[in-house]
Amino acid sequence: MTDNLENESEDLPEQIAIRMAKREKLNDLSDAYPVSLPLTHTISEVRAEFPDLEIDAVTGKKVAIAGRVVFARNTGKLCFATLQAGDGERIQAMVSLDKVGEENLELYKELVDLGDHLFVDGEVITSKRGELSILVESWKMAAKTIRPLPNLHNELSEEFRVRHRYIDLIVRDRAREVVKIRSQVMQSLRNTFANDLYLEVETPMLQSMHGGASARPFKTHMNAFDMELFLRIAPELYLKRAVVGGIERVFEINRNFRNEGADSTHSPEFAMLEAYQAYGDYSTMAELTQKLIQNAAQDVFGTQVVALDGGEENDLSGEWDRVSMFESLSSAAGQEITPETPMAELKKIADKVDIEIDHPLHGKYVEELWEHFVKPGLKKPTFVMDFPVDTSPLTRDHRDKKGVVEKWDLYIRGYEQATGYSELVDPVIQRERFVAQAALAKTGDPEAMKLDEEFLKALEFGMPPSGGMGMGIDRLLMSLTGLGIRETILFPLVK
């Protein structure tokens, strides 16, 4: 592909060279890119005003509209063009010899291509086949296109869509629809929070110390302070500072960055929602999460049983199941597994089902086994409650059960959708767990956290008992649409 249009014209692909020449001629005659156009209507407005005209009708109504030419059918003295607005609405323009005259008709045929933005004004009529049309009295180039549009009769390849999303948006209804759905979902989430009196904040994305999750960060460098900075892997430690400061219901929707694998469910930058509520706990947050998702489905689709892209349905209605991690694992594995079950016993089970686990933590074994035995069977939205203590260093011990913390993961259609906690607010225990993590970091675990002294100091000023939750926005869109993550992100990272 030629990326530089300043090359000699003979180096350009044929179609681009021809369009460049047309652009020149338009500029000579008037302007290929006029600064403004005297529009009177949008295409949707015209359609809304004349929904049911008879065949071959005239209205006497003059309108001036613009749209991108997506189909063109030229006969000798009458030309048809299908004009498309940004929202996908289309209308037909008819350019006829007796309305515009010979010169303008010839210029139209010579200079207007598929893909161009065209301005027309004229009377609203219907054609002899009943198609709602503008009978053009004058036309004007609104913006000349230099590159040809892909053909509209084949699906674009996945790669082409992702690399040239702007073209995808022009030619594919579903692409436009997903952008709209995503925007409406965001609006709905914010409405649900607002109704619960939450405040939205924005916390640092450039951090001198990355924390709040276990993941490898992206590193960068700040020249002015000559310091190493990290792109955040989570906003948690700052949102908790906000709670300490008295912002008792707080949430943030923003990007996290994780320097790890990319596949159909993981993007290196992804939109994250986190929320904290003083005097709530993990149960409160489970209710909130269910409400956020059900409201989003209801607000955007008008139903909590959403239709997915592949033809399946995703039933998000009703009260969602809550199962205990250890209990569901025990019954699936056919033997009692508790936080006291010896490592040797866990290893024996892992060996028996042929999964390899190389990790020093007891809880890691439990989670791996759970993912093997229980996770594949989860279809309905399900909160998996009460995780092992040693894999959740920022979480509070369970109020009744020994060896587990008050944490849940929400699974929808078999993958992790959200997570929630009763937050650990005891500064002494938090420090102990951080120190243990830092020790792990020294042994080479690149995901372990460093000591965030300022965060610990904040806890020492007293954080009220709180619930917290986090949810991947891109994954929420996946649950609501059935699309892959690269289709829910408008411009996903490509190499």
Partner RNA sequence: GGGCCUCUAGCUCAGUUGGUUAGAGCAACGGACUUUUAAUCCGUGGGUCGUGGGUUCGAUUCCCACGGGGCCUACCA
Give phi and psi for 82, each to the nearest 5: -95, 120
- From 7, 264, 303, 317, residue interacting with RNA (rule: CB under 7 A): 264
Q: Name which position in 137, 327, 416, 445 contacts RNA (CB under 7 A).
A: 416
- Which span sits near RNA by CB under 7 A: 144-152, 223-231, 239-247, 331-339? 144-152
Structure tokens at 357: 């686990």
Residues 6+ apart with CB under 8 A from 334: none
Is 60 a residue that touches RNA (CB under 7 A)? no
Give me the 222-261 binding string for RNA, x by CB under 7 A, dash otherwise. Answer: ------------------------------------x-xx
Q: Is 97 in the site for RNA (CB under 7 A)?
A: yes
441 binds RNA (CB under 7 A): no
> In this complex, which beta carbon is closest to RNA, that of residue 247 or of residue 355?
355
Q: Is 461 in the site for RNA (CB under 7 A)?
A: no
Q: Kindly provide the b/e burial profile for residues 73-95, where b requires at least 16 CB atoms within 10 angstroms of the residue's own CB.
A: eeeeeebbbbbbbeebbbbbbbb
Q: Smallest gap, in angstroms, from Cβ of residue 7 to RNA? A: 13
Q: Taking the complex as a whole, how short is the minimal distance between the CB of residue 163 and RNA, in angstroms?
A: 8
**Rule CB under 7 A: is residue 98 a binding residue for RNA?**
yes
Cβ(478)–Cβ(484) under 8 Å?
Answer: yes
Distance of alpha carbon 363 from alpha carbon 348, whole angstroms: 15
> Residue 266, interface with RNA (CB under 7 A)?
yes
Q: Are 409 and 384 in contact (CB under 8 A)?
A: yes
Residue type, 202: E
Strands of the sheet containing 404-412, edge to edge, are 199-200, 249-257, 269-278, 466-472, 415-422, 404-412, 382-388, 321-324
Rounded least distance, CB 5 to RNA, Å: 13
Q: Find the radius of gyration of the CA atoms of the chain.
A: 30
**Choices 129-137, 174-182, 197-205, 313-321 (CB under 7 A): range interacting with RNA:** 129-137
Single-letter amino acid, residue 155: E
CB atoms within 10 A of CB 215: 15
CB 170 within 8 A of CB 147: no
- Measured from the CB atom, the residue of 29 and 227 that comes closer to RNA is 29
Q: Which position among 128, 221, 352, 399 is part of the footprint of RNA (CB under 7 A)? A: 128
List 154, 197, 310, 334, residue binding RNA (CB under 7 A): 154
Nearer residue to RNA within complex by CB, 144 or 249: 144
Cα separation values, 312 from 296, 309, 338, 378, 400, Å? 19, 7, 37, 16, 40
Q: How far apart are CA 46 and CA 129, in angstroms?
A: 18
Does residue 415 bind RNA (CB under 7 A)?
yes
Q: Where are the alpha helices (DSSP H) in 51-164?
A: 97-111, 158-163
Residues forming contacts to RNA in the complex (CB under 7 A) are 1, 13-15, 18, 71-78, 80, 82, 92, 94, 96-98, 110, 113-114, 127-131, 133, 147-148, 150-160, 162, 213-215, 258, 260-261, 263-268, 270, 368, 415-416, 447, 472, 474-475, 484, 486, 494-495
